[in-house]
């Protein structure tokens, strides 16, 4: 495993990351709050990626937030039928709870891809390969650890650089010590996190606000977003 990159992070000022051909807007900032009975009150970050030939939603929130999601989409002039791809970073209920709103979209749930007619197709994600939505711009990357089949969406070339919509690979900025108890495979997730910090200029976490990544020697190595499986998941 490569050593973790030396990086610092800083929060973004707002929910919109502009860009061309794609921008990223956080429709809902995720949260996770502990309760006195030992439970957690939580819902996930939901992001809308728009521009180019695609309209892509990353995560759908829990079913308890159905009306809120519809309202947030409507605020952007978007109806569920406008969404071409829905990427759910993993299969937990606070990330997939509103999939039924998008029967006409291609659904990528973890490493599974299904078409609107119910056909499932291979992607290579389970073998550590990216799934390309728009060459050079949008790629689904395998980023396992929190669960066995986590994925993230890489959006290249926004005004702030490469944006990784990462689900629960990161709970939030500054989550060290918090993500490990929630991880199915902490060593694998640590490798995926280290890789994300090498390739992303902005990370959208699963339960918090987006944050920027500043690396030492930034610009010297941007990384290859298609090589996660080869670079990060070995011992």
Residue 233: pLDDT band by 50, 70, 90 thresholds?
A: very low
CA dist., res. 58 & res. 126, Å (int)? 19
Average pLDDT score, the chain? 90
pLDDT over 80 at 144, yes or no: yes
Instruction: Give first-to-last CA distance, the chain, whole Å.
Output: 6
pLDDT of residue 227: 35
CA dist., res. 29 & res. 147, Å (int)? 21
CA dist., res. 235 & res. 155, Å (int)? 28
Tens digit of pLDDT for each residue in 196-218?
Answer: 999 999 999 999 999 999 987 65
Domains of the chain and any CATH numbers: 7-232 (3.60.15.10)
pLDDT of residue 4: 55
CA dist., res. 130 & res. 111, Å (int)? 10
């Amino acid at each position: 495993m490569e050593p973790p990159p030396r990086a610092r992070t800083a929060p973004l000022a707002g929910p919109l990351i502009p860009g061309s051909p794609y921008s990223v807007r956080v429709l809902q900032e995720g949260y996770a709050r502990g309760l006195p009975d030992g439970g957690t009150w939580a819902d996930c970050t939901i992001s809308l990626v728009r521009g180019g030939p695609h309209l892509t939603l990353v995560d759908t929130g829990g079913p308890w937030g159905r009306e809120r999601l519809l309202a947030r989409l409507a605020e952007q002039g978007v109806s569920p039928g406008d969404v071409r791809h829905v990427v759910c970073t993993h299969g937990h209920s606070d990330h997939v709870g509103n999939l039924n709103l998008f029967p006409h979209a291609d659904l990528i749930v973890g490493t599974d891809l299904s078409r609107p007619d119910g056909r499932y197709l291979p992607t290579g994600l389970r073998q550590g390969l990216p799934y390309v939505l728009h060459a050079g711009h949008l790629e689904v990357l395998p980023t396992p650890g929190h669960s066995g089949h986590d994925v993230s969406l890489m959006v290249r070339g926004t005004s702030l650089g490469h944006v990784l919509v990462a689900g629960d690979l990161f709970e939030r900025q500054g989550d060290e010590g918090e993500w490990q108890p929630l991880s199915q495979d902490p060593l694998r997730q640590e490798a995926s996190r280290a890789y994300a910090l090498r390739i992303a200029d902005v990370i959208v976490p699963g339960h918090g606000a987006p944050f920027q990544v500043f690396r030492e020697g930034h610009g010297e190595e941007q990384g290859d977003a298609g090589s996660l499986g080869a670079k990060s998941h070995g011992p």
